[in-house]
Amino acid sequence: MSKKREIVKNQHYVPKLYLRNFCKHKDQVAVYFKSSGTSFFTNIVNIANENYFYDDDEIDKSAQSIQVLEKYFHPLEDRMKIILNTLLNRLNASKYVGFSDDERIDISMFLVYQFMRTKEQREIFGQLNQELIQMYADEFIKSEGEDPTKYKVEIDGKYFHTRILLDESLMDKLTLSLYKKLWVILDNQTEMPFLTSDHPVVKYGHLGNEIRSMSGFNSRGVEISFPLSPKYLLSIIDEEYANSMIHLDDNVIKVDDQRVLHYNSLQIIKSYDQLFSNINSFGLAKEILEEEPVLKDPNRSRVQHITNSSSRPL
């Protein structure tokens, strides 16, 4: 096969193997665009994607291959497809028996990469590095007796993003962090489905405040949530914070509409632009976006400047 035929143009940052779990019919899912307020059913090939999103000539040249990053996720995705299908079949048949160690490792790794690989995370990396580099540039310019407001640093967010994705040491550390936490599957008992999005792995800091979000993978009180389907969601919680819940590890618990609203709100707030569901009903998204219209803007600031020496993602 020629290299020309091997080229993948339409590259998904949320894999189709996952999106299929939210389809009403074969490969058809309801999508809501925060930026325009429009919603409709479409094929999953049309969502959570961008042409040549992972392509990086420098990385390809170094590896003496083509589209290295696009192919990088395939082995893990192949394993995850089997794990997800098996898990949902067991849950639907009331035969869930918990995760094996190997399944925990693969799911943890998949969630870390899924969190890191999206367009939303690329924006965060880009804006964070822009803020930090601009801060140091301003200090240097002032030391030279110049006005820093006359100069603006421009960086390539994609450059930082693609290289972080290839930092296997970092990914392994984050994978181990998730593996050790408390894992609970939430069973949606309402008629309101769990939503997912173009940034489906969400971190929430239960102990966060205005100064510190406390939502790092290793933060005390952090919870990582990942909708598995309209009916099930995987919640991974800091084991020290949730010590009183340790008996629930590897269990399924039923949740009501308040919990479903909470997790759907997180998907709406943390996503880049697209929300996905098995039904074309996005009333909650419209309410939240009416209250927080800045969330409609894909180019919104994700970084809050705290002091002259620190910035953090919102």
Confidence (pTM): 0.90
Separation of alpha carbons 216 and 181, rounded Å: 13
DSSP string, 41-65: EEEGGGSSEEETTT--HHHHHHHTS
Give the pLDDT score at 128: 84
Domain residue spans in the chain? Answer: 8-53+74-116+167-297
Query: In sequence order, what are the residues at sequence separation of 6 or more whose Cβ sits closer than 8 angstroms to the Cβ of residue 23?
Result: 29, 44, 278
How far apart CA 122 and CA 127 sit, in angstroms, is: 9
Contact of 307 with 284, CB cutoff 8 Å: no
Alpha-carbon separation of residue 1 from 51, 73, 103, 257, 284 (angstroms)? 21, 21, 34, 52, 48
Helices (H), the chain: 3-6, 16-19, 57-63, 68-72, 74-92, 101-116, 119-143, 157-165, 168-179, 257-270, 283-291
What gap in Å lies between CA 255 and CA 216, rounded to an integer?
25
User: Closest Cα partner for 271 from 36, 12, 34?
Assistant: 34
pLDDT in tens, the chain (314 residues): 444 457 899 999 999 999 999 999 889 999 999 999 999 999 999 999 999 999 999 999 999 999 999 999 999 999 999 999 999 999 999 999 999 999 999 999 999 999 999 999 999 988 887 778 777 777 877 787 888 777 777 778 898 899 999 999 999 999 999 999 999 999 999 999 999 999 999 999 988 776 677 788 999 999 999 999 999 999 999 988 888 888 899 999 999 999 999 999 999 999 999 999 999 999 999 999 999 999 999 999 987 654 443 444 54
C-alpha to C-alpha distance for 165 and 119, rounded to whole angstroms? 13
Are 311 and 303 in contact by the 8 Å Cβ rule? The answer is yes
C-alpha torsion 237→239→242→245, nearest 10 = 100
DSSP-derived 3-state class of residue 229 = coil
Name the residue among 162, 87, 85 with its Cα closest to residue 121: 162
The pLDDT score that the predictor gives to residue 127 is 87
